[in-house]
Structure 1
Amino acid sequence: MAVFVLDKQKRPLMPCTEKRARRLLERGRAVVVRLAPFTIRLKDRIGGETQPLRLKLDPGSRVTGLALVRESEIVDLDTGAVERREHGLWFGELAHRGQQISDALTLRRHYRRARRSRKTRYRAPRFLNRTRREGWLPPSLQHRLDTTLNWVERLRRIAPITALSQELVRFDTQALQNPEISRVEYQQGELAGYEVREYLLEKWHRTCAYCGATNVPLEIEHIVPRARGGSDRVSNLTLACRPCNQRKGSRSIEDFLKRQPARLHQIQAQAKAPLKDAAAVNATRWALFDALKATGLPVETGSGGRTKFNRTRLDIPKTHALDAACVGQVDTLSGWQCPALAIKATGRGSYSRSRLDRFGFPRGYLMREKRVYGFQTGDWVRAEVPTGKKAGVHVGRVAVRQTGSFNIQAQGGTVQGISYRHCRVLQRADGYGYAFQPKPDTEAARRAA
């Protein structure tokens, strides 16, 4: 993974390799600015030449893939065709907390309704006295948009990014339900079928609908066979492994699963249910696109089918970060065999100063001050414990207590009861948790795709 570099005036330069960054630090020519993403600042250099860098985004309802690539274009003198070559420099996967926000708002709404029903001071419910601005999004969806834009700006501050790419249309549900309106986009060409297959993979959780098998090649299967009048609408399609697909053949699903009524009911219900994640992505895709255009950088867009086509053609395993690297026009991609930075949105604490029981009454009060002995929950610390049962070095996010006995969430698990005297801050809390994912397992990831 490349290391981000800033000059003496904190302006972004071209990222360098880990070996070069280590040498600069050992010789005293640079200092560490951040650990995640790892960034250094040079002491003896101002300005420098840069190359075109493109930041690619694969927006998702739960995880957004990020990929920073160095691009170059090669022109074929004979045909005049332009080939885009890309080299991966940095990969990240941003995990959103939209579902937690939605659950918190639902719980708060229940508490508010319970207060109205008690024999306390009555407050009439308010209706139609609040206006929403144009382009308003629910808080859970606005969070996905804000966190994605936040990381776009962060990376722009530490890397000389010259262009952006976004997967704009992941699932076009209208075209999937009525393929006749799309004509050549889905019915002809190299991308035919990729949009529908990607939709089904997400909807059926990449498992066989009939036996529940995972990590096996899956085929598109008609719930009501075409020989019995079944249509090609997406509501009549599912995924099945080859043995189940062959055993079912042209039989009706009721006859095929007559000994498994529970699975039959589940398949029939899931076939009619819409894809919730697709709705979340579709609700925010244009807002994200407009926000990216407002940065002043050229924005390239691509569909989910083209992303799947590029990844399959280049024989690249499926991860969120590598999906982002395959967005848009990609002819060749190198340097993708490297770990990705897992970024988890954790928030910056709670405004509530008390814990509540299941009835909404306070059951305990929290500290009034967020900092304890100079530490705050969420700080990335390094604890060196000399003796005792917890002797050793522990690195991770800290959860503070008023007594000064902290908990450290390390990579191997949570370590409790570490004194603040043994802790040293590596990076202050910024609302995110960080971890490094191993290199992608090519064979396992390809089977899952």
Structure 2
Amino acid sequence: MPAAPHPAYPVGLRLTGRKTVVIGGGQVAQRRLPALIAAGADLTLVSPSATPSVEAMADAGEITWVRRRYERGDLEGAWYVLIATGDRAANDEASAEAEEHRVWCVRSDDAEAATAWTPATGRTEGVTVAVLSTEAADRDPRRTAAIRDALVEALRDGTVGVERPHTPGVALVGGGPGDPDLITVRGRRLLAEADVVIADRLGPRDLLDELPPHVEVIDAAKIPYGRQMGQEAINQALIDHAKQGKAVVRLKGGDPFVFGRGMEEAQALAAEGIPVTVVPGISSSISVPGAAGIPVTHRGVAHEFTVVSGHVAPDDERSLVDWGAMAKLTGTLVVLMGVDKIGKIAAALVAHGKPGDTPVALVQEGTTAAQRRVDATLATVGETVAAEGVKPPAVIVIGDVVREGPERNRR
């Protein structure tokens, strides 16, 4: 029986400052060059043409572009070469030169003729995951990419049982608008490493069910406090757990610094000398309208958008919003935490000159299975909210963009 083919020997190449040649400036080069740049390679591209993205790398000085076809001698002094042209004869000639110079050579057109293969790679937490098929005949890029993705995701969300460094302190994590898939990769990783999670009501609740049994989950809404002591009590809970040497995650809806009082918490922790990590989140101010088919900006319709808090009415002395200025804006106005005040908000905008027929959309429970959209105008929104039973959380969008949407172009 013939001997079984030998598998490829995996190795990590350290290319920093070492000459690396890429032949061909098409889509393959466009995909591979960023990783080679990140590796610190001294990159030379040999190609008469290049994609706009590859050309931008040359313009930025990240690569040296020799604007011609491959010529013998181009691989002199190279440590590594990627051959990615559509010319089989040129590829064979360059591959032969690489063999003569003992240069590891990857070929996009013929894996069997190459002396090296590019694995499907992913990076997380200072680790590179690289997946290779055992032999050229079995190379299936989709399969190796799927394995890579599964491993990286498992490392990131903590489902792979890897011992992780225990880092005491507090992470203020923006959980996004509600859909658990919309939390950032870093936010999900920190959740997997947490000893204690203090969660807001509007955070992505489904993620809490994935936490290991030993993680203490505290509902911030249930921390005992009076009307004016809520934030102080939450701050103290963060401080107390962190001082016990625990890794604490403060899980918030949206972004910690968009009406999330995240800076108040960061300042309280800093005053106690407690390390704070801030992980931005996807703000509901743009993601929820987007999920409902509403662009907050649109060419020819809105060149700006403004996000305001509606948690106090325009006639409340605590309000910091200049509603007169808001009424004069020609772009989009997004109101958060304003469902129960929207009648007064609409009246104030109209009183300051905003047309009563300005469209309004309210998106309740955005990005979740319970999402629904209710449309009105400034003149009717107060009555509509009461009639339709719109409840918080809901994002309110005011402006002509409400009339836009994917279906508009199909009319």
- Normalising to structure 1: TM-score of the pair? 0.24
- Normalising to structure 2: TM-score of the pair? 0.26
Instruction: Kindly indicate which of the two structures has a greater share of residues assigned to strand.
Output: 1
Q: Larger relative contact order (C-alpha < 8 A, sep ≥ 6)?
A: 1
